[in-house]
């Protein structure tokens, strides 16, 4: 059990992340944030422990830990319960914070209510929004982690064709890919923002199952194999003429890449091949168009326009059920900021990491298209998920 | 996509669960609850959809669904956003609720705050507590689901010895068991209550890794293979003289059983064998002692006493780090009510389902002991996880 970012060697990386948080705090006039969620705790400490990370706008941040590890001495104060924090802050000489951020979108209601009582005089704001903004722009080290994810994920995707067997169900095929991922070092558990997002190791969708809606906010649907988890593979046998879309877990180190590739069993109709090529054309277009300063909504509109030009609008981003985004930030969580949707007026910034997934659902055939995770660079997008994109035969 | 419990054939089951919720509502004087979390939505609808389930103390409950499925006609009103709910309730003739329950422990702070605004005049109470109480006692159908889980999980556990290979790491061994589980129909994703609980498909702990603490509130620790998910298998090679504890995912149908068994590689010290036998002795004792009306804290104290009598106290429920419970409710979530801990004065009730896990950590050797999931019956505990308990050689 370690806090890698709190080791002396990582001091610079820690300061970088701290600075990103403080920039967002300043913009919102927040005096201090108290972080408790696993994702935000991990962002700042590089590890997970039971406790709270107090970050004032100025001065040293401080860890309040319930089970104290030895690794974080100097920055750390042991506690039994969060109610001890206010007195300890006063004792340690921290000024009283007037405006305190708590994680409205990462902690349950009862947890925030408990922490709110620690600051009875303070105005309470949303630290989740602050951390979302901070985490949106990655440090070089974070992008390095994601490059490693992309390499591992690509290595696994290159072996996918080898584990297919005739008459497999979609669940069986997915299971063999899950195994390849885990043996490659994938951690399995996928962090997704939102209390109503649930998935196991990502999704594999074959044939008509692609056109089945899901109650979750994932780009593609699928009935799942049980009403208790209605998303993804359904348990049906993969048959000739079907496309199989693989969009599975790229998390190996606390960060993740999001990559989708497609396979077909036997021949598929020309329109499916065309849809797959259109997805690649959209990616090529966006790779050079998307530079720092570009309005994110414009990326969405370009993608929609290209799908239109190819005559494929009715299949774009779903058929019976459509989603309203073609991409999303990715990092510690699968779905970070920014969301690439029509009304997003935010400008693209260097070192954002974004998964773009222009996908098509062709009724009966399945889902087609590719997804890559990119780092935004000065001259365009750098692809972190470089496995070949062509439609492959199983 | 279905709501199995809203089909006419399931009317009786739906009424049973509704009655359980209403009993808990009456006890707390709650006029209505508005449910939105996946676990509570699933409890009452038997499926998951994007929307809200409004349950008044009297009269018909109503589903407000954002993407409306055809299956729930008659009970269902389509909406675009929750803000439409109050006007629709009035239109449908529902009386104004004075005390409304929202899920404080299952929804994020921002979600509850949004829903709270729908009832500006009402007193808001914790629907999570109401649902926890309702879900604590299972219906015959729920226990039937869990029996099926136990059969599947036992079938997989019977194959565990066959997938071990010499010089495997704990992660590799766990991966092969995950594959067996998934091929048997395990859904993979594990629902655990608490915003800071994270795990992939359960846990396999070998040798000295058993004595490593985790920040999560699971009974056993382990460093994990990466600082971003510090629990369970660490990536170390399993060596002769080690015990391997397998405590993995028993979820096949929206419910789950929790079962732990142990294997050894080569010979282990006598004290490890004794600890394993002591765990079984504790289970045998509790199986007959634990009847409706028994104080739950007394179960905990009996287990502690038996471990003492066997001279194994210092290893019981952990060694360097100890947990303060020996069991927990299980059902839709892995950790439901009641918690079997010293200070729990609640009385055992018929049709509770409880996992009992008297475990030991023997330094250097590993974790020993068994865990079973039981249904509480009039004459004692019925074991739902019947795979043989003896310490097996790999």
Task: Tell me A138's DSSP state.
Answer: P
pLDDT value at residue B196: 81
- Phi and psi at residue A295, to the nearest 5°: -70, 130
Q: Which residue of B has its CA nearest to A181?
A: B175
Q: Which of A42, A228, A321 sits opposite B228 (nearest CB)?
A: A42
* Nearby residues of A332 by Cβ (< 8 Å), 6 or more positions away: A39, A42, A43, A135, A191, A254, A255, A256, B228
Average pLDDT estimate for B81-96? 96
- Within chain B, how many helices (H) and strands (E) appear? 10, 19
Cα B121 to Cα A162, A222, B27, B97, B330: the distances in Å are 62, 41, 21, 9, 36
Asked if A189 and B198 come within 8 Å (Cβ–Cβ), the reply is: yes
Q: Which of A109, A187, A226 sits opposite B254 (nearest CB)?
A: A226
Taking CB atoms and an 8 Å cut-off, how many pairs form between chains A and B? 176
Contact of B146 with chain A, judged by CB distance below 8 Å, is answered with no
Measure the CA–CA gap between A17 and A138, rounded to whole angstroms: 9
Contact A192, A334 (CB under 8 A): yes
Task: Tell me B236's DSSP state.
Answer: P
pLDDT band at B194 (very low <50, low <70, confident <90, very high): confident
Q: Smallest CA–CA separation between B290 and chain A, in Å?
A: 31
With CA atoms as reference, report the closest residue to A135 among A81, A193, A51, A209: A193
Asked if A188 and B172 come within 8 Å (Cβ–Cβ), the reply is: no
Q: Smallest CA–CA separation between A102 and chain B, in Å?
A: 10
Contact of B229 with chain A, judged by CB distance below 8 Å, is answered with yes
With CA atoms as reference, report the closest residue to A105 among B112, B99, B76, B178: B112
With CA atoms as reference, report the closest residue to B291 among B385, B382, B389: B382
Q: Which residue of B has its CA nearest to A3?
A: B227
Contact of A67 with chain B, judged by CB distance below 8 Å, is answered with yes
Task: Tell me B193's DSSP state.
Answer: S
**The pairing of beta strand A372-377 with beta strand A366-369:** unpaired
Q: Exposed, middle or buried by CB within 10 Å (0-12, 13-18, 19+), for A263?
A: buried
Taking only the tens of pLDDT, chain A with its 394 residues reads: 467 888 888 999 999 999 999 999 999 999 999 999 999 999 999 999 899 999 999 999 999 998 766 656 678 899 999 999 999 999 999 999 999 999 999 999 999 999 999 999 999 999 999 999 999 999 999 999 999 999 999 999 999 999 999 999 999 999 999 999 999 999 999 999 988 889 999 999 999 999 998 988 888 899 999 999 999 999 999 999 999 999 999 999 999 999 999 999 999 999 999 999 999 999 999 999 999 999 999 999 999 999 999 999 999 999 998 999 999 999 999 999 999 999 999 999 999 999 999 999 999 999 999 999 999 999 999 999 999 999 999 9
Helices (H), chain B: 11-27, 38-45, 85-91, 109-116, 127-136, 140-157, 160-163, 170-184, 270-289, 296-309
Which tokens is A320 given? 């019976």
- Cis check: omega of the bond before B347, within 30 degrees of 0: no
Burial B246-255 (b: 16+ CB within 10 A, else e): bbbbbbbbbb
Q: What pTM was estimated for this model as a whole?
A: 0.97
* Nearby residues of A387 by Cβ (< 8 Å), 6 or more positions away: A153, A154, A157, A158, A259, A261
With CA atoms as reference, report the closest residue to B233 among B263, B272, B202, B192: B202
Contact B296, B308 (CB under 8 A): no
pLDDT value at residue B70: 60
Q: Which of B1, B102, B196 sits opposite A230 (nearest CB)?
A: B1
Query: Mutation test of the interface with chain B: which of A228, A321, A332, choosing the one with the most B Cβ atoms within 10 A?
Result: A228
Contact of B40 with chain A, judged by CB distance below 8 Å, is answered with no
Asked if A198 and B38 come within 8 Å (Cβ–Cβ), the reply is: yes
Contact B310, B278 (CB under 8 A): yes
Measure the CA–CA gap between A317 and A295, rounded to whole angstroms: 20
Domains belonging to chain A, first-starting first, are 4-135 (3.40.350.10), 140-393 (3.90.230.10)
Measure the CA–CA gap between A216 and A195, rounded to whole angstroms: 10
- Cis check: omega of the bond before B292, within 30 degrees of 0: no
User: Residue B207, CB half-sphere, CA atoms under 13 Å: how many?
Assistant: 16
Contact of B238 with chain A, judged by CB distance below 8 Å, is answered with no
Burial B15-45 (b: 16+ CB within 10 A, else e): ebbbebbbebbeeeebbbbbbbbbbbbbbbb
Query: Mutation test of the interface with chain A: which of B46, B188, B203, choosing the one with the most A Cβ atoms within 10 A?
Result: B188
pLDDT band at B2 (very low <50, low <70, confident <90, very high): low
Find residue B376's DSSP bridge partners. B381
Contact of A264 with chain B, judged by CB distance below 8 Å, is answered with no
Which tokens is B196 given? 């800071």
Interface of B with A in 313-332 (CB under 8 A): 321, 332
Q: Which of A46, A49, A128 sits opposite B215 (nearest CB)?
A: A49
């Amino acid at each position: 059990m370690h806090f890698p970012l709190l080791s002396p060697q990582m001091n610079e990386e820690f300061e970088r992340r701290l600075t990103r948080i403080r920039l967002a705090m300043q913009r919102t006039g927040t005096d201090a944030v108290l972080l408790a969620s696993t994702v935000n705790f991990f962002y700042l400490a590089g590890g997970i422990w039971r406790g709270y990370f107090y970050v004032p706008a100025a001065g040293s941040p401080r860890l309040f830990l319930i089970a104290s590890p030895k690794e974080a001495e100097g920055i750390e104060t042991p506690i039994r319960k969060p109610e001890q924090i206010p007195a300890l802050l006063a004792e340690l000489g921290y000024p009283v914070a007037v405006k305190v951020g708590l994680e409205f979108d990462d902690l349950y209601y009862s947890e925030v209510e408990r922490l709110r009582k620690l600051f009875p005089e303070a105005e309470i704001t949303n630290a989740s929004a602050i951390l979302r903004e901070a985490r949106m722009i990655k440090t070089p080290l974070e992008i390095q982690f994601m490059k490693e994810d992309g390499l591992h994920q690509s290595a696994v995707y290159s072996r996918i064709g080898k584990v297919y067997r005739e008459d497999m169900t979609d669940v069986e095929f997915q299971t063999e890919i899950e195994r390849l991922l885990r043996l490659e070092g994938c951690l399995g558990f996928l962090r997704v923002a939102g209390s109503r997002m649930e998935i196991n190791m990502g999704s594999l969708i074959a044939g008509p199952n692609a056109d089945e809606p899901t109650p979750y906010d994932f780009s593609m649907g699928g009935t799942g194999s049980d009403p208790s988890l209605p998303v993804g593979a359904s348990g049906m046998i993969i048959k000739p003429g079907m496309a199989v879309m693989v969009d599975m877990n790229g998390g190996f180190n606390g960060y993740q890449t999001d990559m989708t590739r497609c396979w077909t069993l036997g021949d598929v109709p020309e329109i499916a091949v065309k849809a797959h090529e259109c997805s690649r054309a959209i990616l090529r277009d966006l790779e050079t168009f998307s530079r720092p300063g570009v309005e994110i909504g414009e990326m969405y509109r370009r993608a929609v326009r290209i799908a239109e030009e190819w005559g494929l609008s009715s299949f774009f981003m779903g058929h019976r059920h459509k989603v309203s985004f073609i991409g999303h930030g990715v990092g510690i969580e699968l779905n970070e900021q920014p969301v690439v949707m029509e009304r997003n007026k935010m400008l693209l910034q260097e070192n954002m990491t974004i998964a773009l997934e222009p996908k098509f659902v062709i009724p009966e055939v399945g889902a087609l298209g590719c997804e890559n995770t990119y780092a935004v660079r000065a001259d365009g997008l750098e692809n972190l998920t470089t496995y070949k994109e062509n439609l492959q035969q199983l």
